[in-house]
Amino acid sequence: MLENIRIILVNTSHPGNIGAAARAMKNMGLSKLVLVDPVDHPTFEAYSRAAGADDVLGDARVVKTLAEAVTGCTWVMGTSARERSVQWPMMLPRECAAASIKQAELGEAAIVFGRERTGLTNEELELCHALVNIPTNPDYSSLNVAAAVQVLCYELRLAALESAAASAPSEPERNEPAAKHIDDVPATADQVDGMYQHLYQMLEDVNFFGTSHPEIIMRRLKGMFNRTHLTRREVSILRGIYSAAQGKKAVRK
């Protein structure tokens, strides 16, 4: 399951943190590292901090945006050094790890880490289903980003071990019901993003925005949809509704 979990570092400034994150991942059995617009990469410093994890570092995918990094993921968790608004459900590392391992049984999951100085932007948080906060000293709450990667990878490892122990099948359980219908699996981040773009276009077409701020309304709507963790079928129903509202015939498969 750990192989289905991506660790994403956004716009990291210090190469040493990239290397230390790769090492933390490998210690805990994770290998998929994605770097979004790193300030300086690849570097000697990152490789020297990665120690024996130069394979994880060398295999790291480098992309321009977080949207690109989460393509194909059905579960995305953001990390935050502080409490954000109610829009994002907040989890503790243990809950985050349990949820991520569960999701990784069905598809690809991601945990996203922010910039050293400023964390993640609201726009980036909009791509997340929930946020995780590592409880720290309230007077000094912000961890080094690679230390935060270490804490969460450790929790992921514990949750994976627990899940493997719990799911060793006993005899009668082997005849489990057939897998869910393909449409009932969680939608991927890119499918949900396509639905958001369609929603925006539809709301514009029906003149919903008027004088209000589209970006604020969209942020609320995205927060609401992200909390529900949409399935592929639901995304397709919503898009059918938008097409109907736009006066286009809903495409039925």
* Among 98, 145, 192, 230, interactor with ligand SAH by CB under 6 A: 145
Rounded CA-CA distance 43/54 in Å is 11
* Among 4, 11, 74, 79, interactor with ligand SAH by CB under 6 A: 79
Of 37-45, 64-72, 138-146, 245-253, the window that binds ligand SAH (rule: CB under 6 A) is 138-146
* Among 19, 38, 114, 186, interactor with ligand SAH by CB under 6 A: 114
* Among 13, 43, 142, 163, interactor with ligand SAH by CB under 6 A: 142
**Rg of the chain on CA atoms, in Å:** 20
The minimum distance between CB 142 and ligand SAH, in angstroms, equals: 4
* Among 48, 52, 58, 82, interactor with ligand SAH by CB under 6 A: 82
The minimum distance between CB 148 and ligand SAH, in angstroms, equals: 4
Which residue number, 109 or 148, has a Cβ lying nearer to ligand SAH?
148
80 binds ligand SAH (CB under 6 A): yes
Instruction: Report 84-113 residues binding ligand SAH (CB under 6 A).
Output: 113
- Residue 77 pairs in a beta bridge with 111, 130
β-strand pairing of 73-79 with 130-132: parallel
Q: How far apart are the first and last CA of the chain?
A: 32
Rounded CA-CA distance 156/148 in Å is 12
Which residue number, 73 or 145, has a Cβ lying nearer to ligand SAH?
145
Q: Cα 29 vs. chain centroid, distance in angstroms?
A: 18
Q: Which two tokens stand for residue 159?
A: 């949750």
The minimum distance between CB 85 and ligand SAH, in angstroms, equals: 13
Helix, strand, coil percentages for the chain (3-state, nearest 5): 50, 15, 35
Rounded CA-CA distance 112/125 in Å is 9
Rounded CA-CA distance 214/197 in Å is 12
Annotate 128-177 with DSSP letters as a single string: -SEEE-----TTS-PPPHHHHHHHHHHHHHHHHHHHHHHTS--GGGGSPP
148 binds ligand SAH (CB under 6 A): yes
Of 97-105, 117-125, 175-183, 230-238, the window that binds ligand SAH (rule: CB under 6 A) is 117-125
The minimum distance between CB 73 and ligand SAH, in angstroms, equals: 17
The minimum distance between CB 195 and ligand SAH, in angstroms, equals: 27
Chain positions contacting ligand SAH, by CB under 6 A: 79-82, 113-114, 116, 118-120, 133-134, 136, 141-143, 145, 148
